[in-house]
Structure 1
Amino acid sequence: MAQAGEIGGAAKEWVRPVTAGLMAAVVGFASSFTVVLEGLRAMGATPLEAASGLLALCLGMGLLGVILSLWQRMPISIAWATPGAALLASTAAPEGGFAVAVGAFLVAGGLVVIAGLAKPFGRLVAAIPPSLAGGMLAGVLLSLCLAPFKAVGALPLLALPIVLAWALMIRLNRLWAMPVALAVTIAMVMIDGSAAANLPAGADLMPHLVLTAPVFDLKAIIGIGLPLFLVTMASQNVPGLAVLQSNGYRPEPGPLFVSTGAMSLVTAPFGGFAVNLAAITAAMCAGPDAAADPGRRWLAAVAAGLAYIVIGMVATLAAAVAAAAPPILIQAVAGLALIGAFAGALGNALANPAEREAVLITFLVTASGLSFGGIGAAFWGLLAGGAFWLLQRRN
């Protein structure tokens, strides 16, 4: 009997972290894959190219999560940059199409590698006031966060059940709010019938990668690549490190940044815009709910990585359903997924009264959609807010 109890206890030590990792992967994918697809579509990707980007991201972050967690024996969770996808969704497609966007993705990944290798460069990035970075992120997210309510006005019979299901689950179990909203969305699309008729045949739903030769354009690098790098660092990599540290893990940041940047370089030609440290789902793998023993929580991150690789096999189907559905409905689901991030970004950005004017200038310019010289609003928002911030400091 004692031996049976020991076996049962050992089994629980494995089951608990593996279950936590599987749940983190399912929640992470279901909560934001529509944001990823919307961002790639806005950059000019075809449905096949968007599906390839989704698959490349799943494979890249799954593989890297497994490798880093096994190497460091820490729960190092990897994710795509949801705020980065929102940035793409709110930015006009570059002249030259998706190939130019891919070139900007490569530059953003390269900058992350440099940030990990060159400490002076990393310190320069860290010198950007967090409040301004938060204001820029909030400005990027605003238009998508308005989409659910615009959808209710345009398609009330389809959109209202989705919003209500999301709101109800926020009250009951916030973690599952987006997966439930996604399930209701799929049900509404199938009930509508028009989207189901537009789905491709079975052979076209098989997962496959599409290679896009990059084109490097200075305007796209400044307007897409640089803001994507800043958003990825400020809203993913830095919070991801903070989650690990708050749970007692102290990995060296440089190798993690280099690894995620390198994986971004690998996935970019296939449409994967950014691979980075996870923030929200990282807490599910690194926290005490994953395992009582901190030394076993790395199993949760490994399980999550393997699950992402498996989930990637349905990327083409997910992209096909999203492409067949009314665009405003997919934007609505993406907006619901970003409301929490919007609230957090704006709240943190406005926390310091002395910096509020600079933050609001950053936020308003970014949210305005201003495009000048072919460079998007995120860059101009950060530049305008930064200039005002420096002016106030001199005074």
Structure 2
Amino acid sequence: SIAGFATSFALVIAGLQTVGASDAQASSGLLILCVTVGITSIVFALLYRIPISIAWSTPGAALLVAAGQSHANFAAAVGAFIVCGALIVLCGLWPALGRLMTSIPKPIASAMLAGILFPICLAPVTAMIDFPLLALPIILVWLIMLRLAPRWAVPAAMLVAAIVIAVSAGGDWVHTAQLAPQLSFVLPVFDPVVIVSLGLPLFIVTMAGQNVPGFVVMSTFGYATPPRPVLVGTGVASVGGALFGGHAINLAAITAAIMASPEADPDKSRRWIATLSAGFLYLLLGLGAGVATALVAASPPILIIAVAGLAVVGALITSITGALEDPPYRITAIATFLVTASGFTLIGIGSAFWGLLVGAVFMLWLGWGRHDEEGAAGDGGY
């Protein structure tokens, strides 16, 4: 839990601020995410006695960063968050929608996620150019820990980043910041353009990037995770959390691989205690939301996104691998990736939506279902 929080909280804050949140609203968003993750983790652990790990949507936070200033109206973003949560609830209540989500070809979903992550992963390079004295210690520590203790590479880099920011900003940030976190209610605005551009892609990356892999991970460790309660529960919590600035929570994938494994407890029947403990820990970590937001606010924005970029390098590798693993789909995947990574906006709708649309068009034009035919498009594929 500590590692998960440390590796992605900066991404969450940066994402919320990118779509228009003030420092107070971003702090509230991080706090409510910790609260909803904590409560749902505790409830599921006690109800089902299996290690159901809940987390905030890290791909979703990356999507917010990638959205740029084209959606800098936080009330409209909150409306999109609510729509995303409602769609997750519908997936739990209406199995046909869940099946539709799983029918999105993996290369397209992975390519869209890779396109979202790619600009963020470029941020460490930009930070090295713009702020070399600040960025170099962070990247060096990340590289060293990547060799010695890979799991702790990003938390260590985040710790160094916090020290670097605190030292470079002086003591002023402590006096001007609101260190005690407070929930800040946001009255949502339901803007159709923002819902299509932000809400639908947020729903897709949360389902395809977290929920679906999360169920697969749990099944590989022999746990039958009940889909309806998990999807409805996390969806309802996401809707409620959105009113205070949280973007989305979901069944965890990477954390689940730890919590459901013998690493958590050799006794399979007792591994739920790990997720129960993680739930309480997230509630405690929420108390640090004000300090975390103050640190982020005191930093050059590119430096925070650079740390977030280091955190999602692994996810980028996984996404690119998934996008390109099926040769016949490669041209379709690359087209999806390029459009999504471009960051362009058309009629107010961001590139993630257009990337999916282009992927679907390529799939239809080049032959839906022909990916099983040997040599359909040669080595280049489609």
Equivalent in the alignment of 1:198: 173
Task: Could you list the structure 1 runs, at least 4 aligned residues long, displaced by more than 6 angstroms after superposition.
Answer: none
- The C-alpha deviation readout for 1:83-136, integer Å capped at 9, x for no partner, is 100001010345671000000000000000001110111111111111100000
Match of 1:345 in 2: 319
> Aligned residue for 1:14?
none
1:279 aligns with 2:279: no
| Aligned partner letter, 1:288 | P
Give the AA of the match of 2:54. I
Name the counterpart of 1:141.
117
Question: Which residue of structure 2 lines up, in the alignment, with residue 375 of structure 1?
Answer: 349
Contact in 2 for aligned 1:200/1:320 (Cα 8 Å): no
Q: Deviations over 1:256-280 (max 9, x none)?
A: 1111111101100101100101111
Of 47-56 and 95-104, deviating more is 95-104
Q: Assess if the C-alpha contact under 8 Å between 2:19 and 2:71 holds in 1.
A: no
Instruction: Pick the aligned partner of 1:326 from 295, 300, 304.
Output: 300
Q: Displacement, 1:195? A: 5.3
The answer to whether structure 1 residue 174 and structure 2 residue 156 are counterparts is no
Is this contact kept in 2: 1:94–1:100, CA < 8 A?
no
Give the Cα–Cα distance (whole angstroms) in 2 for the partners of residues 245 and 93 of structure 1. Answer: 40
Residue of structure 2 in register with 1:15 after alignment: none
Which stretches in structure 2 are left out of the alignment for 5+ residues? 371-382
Contact 1:195 1:321 in 2 (8 A): no
Deviations 1:289-310 (A, max 9, x none): 1111100000000000000000
Unaligned runs of 5+ in 1: 1-24
**1:123 equivalenced with 2:102 (yes/no):** no
Classify the secondary structure of the residue corresponding to 2:196: helix
Q: Do the aligned residues in 1 keep the contact of 2:6 with 2:155 (CA within 8 Å)?
A: yes
Q: 1:94 to 1:328 in 2, by over 3 A?
A: closer
Asked if the contact 1:366/1:377 (under 8 Å) is kept, the reply is yes
Counterpart Cα distance in 1 of 2:14 and 2:295: 12
TM (norm. structure 2) is 0.94
Within the alignment, does 1:71 sit opposite 2:52 as a pair? no
User: Which of 66, 73, 85 is the aligned partner of 1:109?
Assistant: 85
Q: State the SS of the aligned residue for 1:270.
A: coil
2:162 equivalent to 1:186:
yes
Q: In structure 2, what is the Cα distance between the partners aligned to 1:106 and 1:357?
A: 34
- Cα deviation, residue 237, structure 1: 0.4
Q: Which residue of 1 aligns with 2:377?
A: none
Residues 49-106 of structure 1: CA deviation (Å, up to 9, x unaligned): 0000000000000000000111011001110011100001010345671000000000
Distance 2:186 2:72 in 1: 13
CA distance in 1 between counterparts of 2:36 and 2:171 reads: 30
Tell me how far apart the structure 1 counterparts of residues 173 and 324 of structure 2 sit (CA, whole Å). 45
Matching of residue 294 in structure 1 with residue 268 in structure 2:
yes
CA contact (8 A) 1:75 1:285 kept: yes
Give 2:219's aligned residue.
245
Q: Is 1:60 the equivalent of 2:36?
A: yes
2: CA distance, partners of 1:295 / 1:342: 34
Q: Deviations over 1:22-52 (max 9, x none)?
A: xxx1001001100101100110000000000
Q: Write out per-residue CA displacement over residues 200-255 of structure 1, whole angstroms, 9 at most, x where no aligned residue.
A: 457x2112100000000100010000000000000110111112111110122122
TM-score between both structures, scaled by the size of structure 1: 0.91
The CA RMSD over aligned residues, in Å, is 1.2
Q: Answer yes or no: is the 8 Å Cα contact 1:131–1:348 preserved in 2.
A: yes
SS at match of 1:79: strand
**CA–CA separation in structure 1 for the residues paired with 2:195 and 2:70:** 10
Q: How many residues align?
A: 369
Specify the alignment match of 2:338 in structure 1: 364
Change (3 A) 1:328 1:181: same
Q: Distance in 2 between matches of 1:95 and 1:308?
A: 29
